Amino acid sequence: MATISTRLDTSSPALKSSEQQQGHFSNHAAVNRAGFGKTLQIFWKMLFHKPRSTRPVGEIPVQRLTREQLLSAPDHSVYRLGHSTVLLKMRGKFWLTDPVFAERASPFNWAGPKRFHQPPISLEELPPIEAVILSHNHYDHLDRQAVVQLAGKTRYFLAPLGVGDTLIKWGVAPDKVRQLDWWQSTEVGGIRFVATPAQHFSGRGLFDGNQTLWASWVMIDDARRIFFSGDTGYFEGFKRIGEQYGPFDLTLMETGAYNVDWPHVHMQPEQTLQAHIDLKGRWLLPIHNGTFDLAFHAWHEPFDRIMALAWERNVSITTPAMGQAFMLGAPERGHAWWLDVEAQAAEPLVN
């Protein structure tokens, strides 16, 4: 297992590392997982009984990006490329979270959740990437073809324990891979990255459940601090992360693909907002939505709910369209673009 230039942050004795028993990682808190029968019911419902509202009828707006545009952008520009794929510019370099450019979030190219929209920029046109930051190995977060294509233009891949081994098997040079346990940190290009806990699970097949770790990430660029949630249920760890590393200028928070059948591994919007508050976040940018159909709620419901909650609690929230820049130096709320998509669907057909 390749772990390079990492250190365990022991500045708080209350913070514990991950736990691995008999080759499997576990959450700090007990997580109730659906049994085999319940899992089959969920898959059957996913395949044959999804509401039509889980996919947009109108066209998702995408602001196209060019390499030249990115190279000329100021530092601390943030771009949603889709789902949990976010491109950040810091110190004149580019950093990419959970890159998924595939047409489907699936092990198959002919079945599984299909994209609502194309990425704002292609893998080929992306500028050189200083580091790819990975949260876990699920298909909607770890795209093998994207990793293979990015390997030649990426300096480092930062990953939770075990995920880096997968990258190396796929052909990424071992000296580019840094694997971290919870609360371990590493520095790349003057920016400090800390792998922090999340409450989730891992696996890409039937027999590899929880054999690799999952994580959230703290990014520290001098006075600027950004939090990337990855996938997670709500847990007390957010308060510990906030106490240890907050306040955060921006939190990139999972807001979508929730359901009463999996309450411990994905957050309801009310929990997303509370997690942002626990983290001492200033601006909230909801992610994990708007690209793939992964649950039973209407595709736009995560935006509707988190926006209403943020206004009620006076929380600064931003909802940029895919490819639209969010500037930490001059933050703006953005446009409720999903309402326009729904309005398209409601327009009568004109002969």
Say which range, 11-25, 102-116, 138-152, 331-345, has the weakest mean pLDDT. Answer: 11-25
Domain boundaries, given as residue ranges, for the chain: 61-345
Please state, rounded to an integer, the average pLDDT across all residues of the chain: 91
pLDDT band at 143 (very low <50, low <70, confident <90, very high): very high
pLDDT tens column, 31-49: 776 555 655 565 556 655 6
pLDDT tens column, 68-93: 999 999 999 999 999 999 999 999 99
For residue 3, the model assigns a pLDDT of 40
Cα dihedral sign, 193-199-203-204 = negative
Residues 61-345, CATH architecture: 4-Layer Sandwich (3.60)
Q: Is the pLDDT of residue 351 over 70?
A: no
pLDDT tens column, 259-271: 998 999 999 999 9
For residue 39, the model assigns a pLDDT of 58
pLDDT tens column, 257-306: 999 989 999 999 999 999 999 999 999 999 999 999 999 999 999 999 99
Q: Is the pLDDT of residue 182 over 90?
A: yes
Average pLDDT of the residues in 228-256: 98
Q: What is the pTM of this model?
A: 0.93
For residue 13, the model assigns a pLDDT of 38
CA–CA dist 303, 321 (Å, integer)? 12
For residue 43, the model assigns a pLDDT of 58
Average pLDDT of the residues in 241-253: 98
For residue 46, the model assigns a pLDDT of 61
For residue 12, the model assigns a pLDDT of 43
